[in-house]
Structure 1
Amino acid sequence: MSITGFDLSFRHLCSPCIPPRFDFSSQSRRKIEYGCSFTAIRPVFCSMSSSSTAVSDSDENHVSTSYSRRLMTFMITFLLPLPKLMQHSGANANATDDLALIQGEIRKVLSKSKAAGVLRLVFHDAGTYELDDASGGMNGSISFELDRPENKGLKKSLKILVEAKTIVDEKQPVSMADMIAVAGAEAVSLCGGPTIPVRLGRLDSMVPDPEGKLPEETLDAFGLKQSFQRKGFSTQELVALSGAHTLGSKGFGNPVVFDNAYYKVLLEKPWLSSAGMTSMVGLPSDRALVEDDECLRWISKYADDQDLFFEDFMNAYIKLVNSGAKWRRD
């Protein structure tokens, strides 16, 4: 094996027929500027001929000095990357610790009954993103937008996250965007959904996002698909993200259980029944999905396979909370 021109097998130091012999002289012990002591090994060279000859003192000193320099070069070249590796490892450890800290404080204030509101907070903060002008997105600007009609009822959800953020900030400052992104993932997990990894490092916006960027609840399937396409999401991702409505009081199964009941209920179309309150199931936009052939294919897949829904929701969620985010430079 050779690194920076140095043969680690030491075979170049001696005749192939005669094993190398090393003199571990105490005079050759040196210290290298890495806080550790290394011994510079001084080889006694063998003759390449069948009759061995003595090496002169001057030649030996020259070889020893040359060898020591080569060893020093090797050690420095080999060790230089270590500080970067250590820093990278330390950065990963810090990110893991920060995430654990945020998750711990969120879990103290989050309950299953509050999960739907917290998850809705994620959609309303990130859902303002537009590809064309790269505006909006996951940036914590929802803090400035709570008085908008589409954000009615979100003040309570934001309040519990502000409470958790206050505690986190005492140990490690965190953006509101990161708090919301992590909280949504925790809400899903708490209610039995998939565990969603969330990257940290988002920066908060200091101004509200433009108005009128969230998909309206009255849109038909064509309008929904167009709206999500402008945000960079496919029809499949639209249907997967819509499954978040399985939580809450929309009428899709157990309001505090994250499962694929949303899709099963959509296929049943209970709003067509004449039995009173069943007409209140879901939003107009939910009902519109099942009337579109492309959306219907994914609704049927998720109704049949909850694991597939969980996987696709996780991937779409990660994409959602990264949409439009501005990242801290470490």
Structure 2
Amino acid sequence: MAAFRTSLRLARHVPIAPARVLPARAAIPAVRAFSTGAGVPKPEAPKNSNSSILFVLALAAVGVSGYFLVDEPTLASWVGLPDRTTGKGGLAGEADYQKVYNAIANLLENEKYDDGSYGPVLVRLAWHSSGTYDKETNTGGSNGATMRYPLEAGDGANAGLEAARNLLEPLKKKFPWISYSDLWTLGGVAAIQELGGPVIPWRPGRQDAPPEKTPPNGRLPDAAQGAQHLRNVFYRMGFNDQEIVALSGGHVLGRCHPNRSGFDGPWTFSPISFTNDFFNLLVNEKWEPKKWDGPFQWEDVGTHTLMMLPTDYALIEDASFKKTVQKYAKDEELFFKDFASVFSRLLELGVPAENFDAGAKGLEKPGPLTFKTTAEQENSK
């Protein structure tokens, strides 16, 4: 089985259409081509009544009421209590987080999900749970995991992300000491690395928050807009033009769905391989408006199987953005370096410094953690 899974990882590209000729690429490491097995099991209710609380929520502020059965560590993490048993006190070490990483990696492959991998939707969850940050009010961001609540979960920009949240829910039961905020962001890190992307530095310490900490809807990008909209959204978070382009390169993974965003199709021929192909295709392919009944989007002239969103195409219509797009199209190593840096920053938006200080107390060495991929771990045996 190990040999079979390793052979899958060697297949970096899984074409969904006849491949176009792109610039030559350097040799690449063995990575997952598909991201394991069966569907997501339904979480079991805690069996020990002494370790669970039937918590009655009166959430008038968000228009929700009902009963939620949660165990004590989960409840402590949920409302941000300083309970060391949740892991926020720094008891978890590097090996513990590597175990969580591995558990996430082993959930990725599923031939019944988009293109055989949950990886892209986990990256989207990590990004959307972090991209609500507003530097002026210091609200939103990855600290809180407030997409668990109806207001943020119901934001149209987050349609379809219940698939990612449900996928990770059994791991929250398996590792109750980790906060949802840390779990979701670590999910994005694991997905990027397992799909062949760069090593993403990551720090633990995010705390979950109650519903009243939910940021207002409408802070995430609207894909139907242009360059100025991108600047408005990303400048609010503290990013510059070069960093906007680098983060946009994450669109190399996954596809759009008419029943979610309204748009349709993948950006690249290999939507579960992290490369610089998003930029190669944006620069080197010819694009035309798609003729269909859906919202305006671009499609490639050659195969009519790929798409670009208006916000994607804006990257080559705007002179400042285009210079960086062209650099990344020519230099994948540069893109990987810049993406790793800015994505790591994205995942830390809104997290108080003292949270990371607390999260580091159980670590063997100071500084962010870096994780070995499952392929690297197998190769080192």
Q: TM class by shorter-chain length?
A: 0.5 to 0.7
TM-score (norm 2): 0.59
Determine helix, strand or coil for the equivalent of 1:290.
helix
* In 2: Cα distance, 1:180 partner to 1:92 partner: 18
Tell me which amino acid in the other structure corresponds to 1:160. Answer: L
Letter in 1 for 2:175: V
Q: How does 1:54-203 map to 2 (within 5 A)?
A: 94-111=92-109, 113-139=117-143, 140-144=145-149, 145-169=152-176, 173-203=177-207
CA distance in 2, matches of 1:241, 1:104: 25
User: In 1, distance between residues paired with 2:136 and 2:300?
Assistant: 44
Asked whether the equivalents of residues 118 and 157 of structure 1 are also in contact (C-alpha less than 8 Å), the reply is yes
CA 1:270–1:166: 2 relative to 1, 3 Å: farther
Extract unaligned runs of 5+ from structure 1: 1-90
Does the residue aligned with 1:125 lie in a helix, a strand or coil? Answer: helix
- The CA distance in 2 between the partners of 1:267 and 1:303, in whole Å, is 7
- Measured at CA, do residues 313 and 328 of structure 1 come closer, stay the same or move farther in structure 2, by a change above 3 Å? closer
- Structure 1 residue aligned with 2:283: 267
Q: In 2, Cα distance between the equivalents of 1:234 and 1:95? A: 34
2:239 equivalent to 1:239: no
Higher Cα Rg, which structure: 1
The letter for the 1-side match of 2:162 is K
For residues 274 and 306 of structure 2, the distance between their equivalents in structure 1, rounded to whole angstroms, comes to 20
245 and 300 in structure 1: CA distance in 2 versus 1, 3 angstrom threshold: same
Tell me how far apart the structure 1 counterparts of residues 302 and 269 of structure 2 sit (CA, whole Å). Answer: 17
Q: Is the 8 A contact 1:121 1:157 kept in 2?
A: yes
Deviation at 1:277, TM superposition (A): 6.6
Matched-pair contact (CA < 8 Å) for 2:286–2:302: no
- Output one character per residue of 1:167-219: Cα deviation in whole Å (capped at 9) or x when no partner: 111xxx11111011111011011111111121001011222221111121122
What SS is found at the alignment partner of 1:196? coil
Query: Structure 2 vs 1, CA of residues 177 and 274 (structure 1 numbering), >3 Å: closer, same or farther?
Result: closer
Matches within 5 A, 1:21-36: none
Q: Distance in 2 between matches of 1:95 and 1:302?
A: 36
Which residue identity is paired with 2:157?
Answer: E
Deviations along 1:41-79, one digit per CA (max 9) or x if unpaired, are xxxxxxxxxxxxxxxxxxxxxxxxxxxxxxxxxxxxxxx
Take 2:300 and 2:139, find their aligned partners in 1: how far apart are those partners?
44
Q: Aligned partners of 1:243, 1:222: CA distance in 2, in Å? A: 18
Aligned-pair CA distance for 1:271: 2.5
**Structure 1 residue 106: Cα displacement:** 1.1
- The alpha-carbon deviation at position 109 of structure 1 amounts to 1.5
Give the Å deviation of 1:110.
2.0
- Deviation of 1:220 after TM superposition, in Å, equals 0.7
Q: Deviations over 1:98-131 (max 9, x none)?
A: 3112212212222361111000111110010011
**When you count helix as a share of all residues, which structure comes out higher?**
1
Q: Identify which of 221, 237, 240 aligns with 1:215.
A: 221
State the distance in 2 between where 1:94 and 1:174 align. 8
How much has 1:241 moved relative to structure 2? 0.5
Partner deviation per Cα, 1:275-324 (whole Å, 9 max, x = no partner): 49738612111111110111111101101110100010000011000011
Q: In structure 2, the residue corresponding to 1:205 is in which secondary structure?
A: coil
Q: Aligned equivalents of 2:232 and 2:155: distance in 1?
A: 23
Whether contact under 8 Å (2:285, 2:301) holds in the other structure is: no
1:141 maps to a residue whose letter is T
CA offset digits 1:23-50 (Å, max 9, x no partner): xxxxxxxxxxxxxxxxxxxxxxxxxxxx
Query: What is the CA RMSD across the aligned residues, in angstroms?
Result: 2.1
Query: Distance between the aligned counterparts of 1:285 and 1:317, measured in 2?
Result: 19
Code of the aligned partner of 1:259 = T
Identity over the aligned pairs, expressed in percent?
Answer: 32
Is the contact made by 2:268 and 2:306 (CA closer than 8 Å) also made in structure 1? no
Instruction: Assess if the C-alpha contact under 8 Å between 2:132 and 2:140 holds in 1.
Output: yes
Relative contact order (C-alpha < 8 Å, sep 6+): which is higher? Answer: 2
Contact (CA 8 Å) 1:131, 1:230: kept in 2 or not? yes
Matched residue type, 1:107: A
Give the TM-score, by structure 1 length: 0.67
Aligned pair in 2 of structure 1 residues 296, 162: CA closer, same or farther (>3 Å)?
A: same
Residue correspondences, number: 237
Contact in 1 for aligned 2:192/2:274 (Cα 8 Å): yes
